[in-house]
Amino acid sequence: MTVAVLSALIRPMVEQHIPDSVQAHFYTSVEELYELAPQAEIGWFDMDDKAPMIEAVQRAEKLKWLNSIYAGLDFLPLDMLHRRGTKITNGIGINAIAIAEYVVMGMLNIAKDYRTIVRAQDRHEWLMDAPGKIELAGTRALLLGYGGIGQQVRPRLEGFGVEVVPVRRSGGDGVLGPDEWRGKLDQFDWVILAVPATAETDGMIGATELAAMKDSAVLVNVARGTVVDQGAVTAALRDKVIAAAMLDVTTPEPLPADDPLWDMENAHITMHLSGRAQNSMFRRSAERFVKNLHAYVAGDSLHPLFDPVRGY
């Protein structure tokens, strides 16, 4: 009998679809998770607090397949999972639509200076002119990261008349390779980060890259806080090296109350809410898990597989 240890949060969505050959145990607390983890061949150990997830993975020495709703799993002991040969499926693409819509929202908010309009309404003040004069049409966006999120961002921006130039490993027609984009930063009005958090992407946007951007450019980060040098971004915003930044992610999270980014007019902090701006996350993840569970039992391949060596 295959033992699966799963969060009770998804029990109503998956229990009736579990094959007879799988014995499912649902945990409702950290203590139950720790107790059940050593039995697990299949594990879905997601919790808001990452520490118990790490501990559960370490205890689950029989684990052959780990599933998660999280797309970024850099906080897990990936080297250990790789040594054990554990298959990993993650939540890549589950939140892509919501995040892509957040990117568009943030860009429009900055282009039209909607923040000023909202504040005027709070003051009951009738503005006589539009505070934001930027039209998205005719602007150019560099899209770093062309996975599930990037592929949702591009058509939405193109619908607004934005020329989107993605960056991906293979390069190709209309696409920049990983060694080409830095030399072209001054050609873009928007620089959008949707890359996975890996050693390769850590700090990929720093003082040098920011200085190479247009002083009218906007940085949009819906990846991870670690992919930018946050101190350099803060300085660039303060010194008007770039026009603005939309930061859905920061380092650390939550952003400390005394961090200067909170009070900068050209910093737009959206508190890592982009993926949560939906009601379909758990349903989509449960449906994907059930499909993979039947594939696992049948000896078929799982999708999407997360590579613990590459980190995505």
R_g of the chain computed on alpha carbons:
22
Tell me which residues are annotated as active site.
224, 253, 272
End-to-end CA, the chain:
31
- Give, in degrees to the nearest 5, the angle at Cα 47 between 41 and 51: 90
Sign of CA dihedral 96, 97, 100, 102: negative
Mark 42-63 as b/e (b = at least 16 C-beta within 10 Å): bbbbbeeeeebbebbbebbeeb
- Give, in degrees to the nearest 5, the angle at Cα 166 between 252 and 115: 50
> Phi/psi of residue 281, each to 5°?
-60, -50
Give the pair of three-digit tokens for residue 121. 């309404």
